[in-house]
Amino acid sequence: MISKEELKQRNSEFWTNFQKEMRNVRSSTGKRINWINYPLGAKDFYIRMETTGKLTRFAIDIQPKDEGVRSILWEQMTELRRVLEDEMGEASAWSEFDRVFAGRNVSRIYWENTDVDFFKNDDLPKIALFLKEKLVAFDVFYQEFKEIIITLAD
């Protein structure tokens, strides 16, 4: 069993190393960006990356305060599903009502890798590669459709 302090240290080291690895990767637009805090520019539209003992996940969360806006964004994303999944290289899981956060319904689109373990050092490069591939692929998709998403989100 790993202590809270050890887990905190492991998380910190992983995300610091991941950020360093991504430092020289440019957006599809050729610009340098902070991949850890991907600059969406769309209100209440988020990229989430997480890794635990048996799971690594890349997710798009849609969680505006206004339920109507969430519904419109969800509908637009479902219309773009084929394009998004083609760019990401694989099918994704879609959950229109994934959970409630701060009184808001959260819709989630996500990709998971369950063949890795965050606590195995040999799996850390596989986890980083999975997240890197998803971020870069998402960037290509987002750069093409961001104006639509930003307009709908605001």
In this structure, what DSSP letter does residue 119 have?
Answer: T
Proportion of the chain above pLDDT 70, given as a percent? 99
Q: Is 96 helix (H, G, I), strand (E, B) or coil?
A: strand
How many Å is the Cα radius of gyration of the chain? 16
The confidence band for 28, taking pLDDT boundaries of 50, 70 and 90, is very high
DSSP secondary structure of 33-60? --STT----STTEEEEEEE-SS-EEEEE
- Angstrom distance (rounded) from CA 33 to CA 69: 27
* Residues above pLDDT 90, as percent of the chain: 76
pLDDT of amino acid 92: 94
pLDDT of residue 153: 83
Q: Would the pTM of this model clear 0.85, i.e. be above it?
A: yes
- Higher confidence at residue 82 or residue 152? 82
- State how many domains the chain has: 1
Q: For residue range 61-112, what is the model confidence (pLDDT) as tens digits?
A: 999 888 999 999 999 999 999 999 999 999 999 999 887 877 788 999 999 9
Q: Domain range for residue 113?
A: 4-153
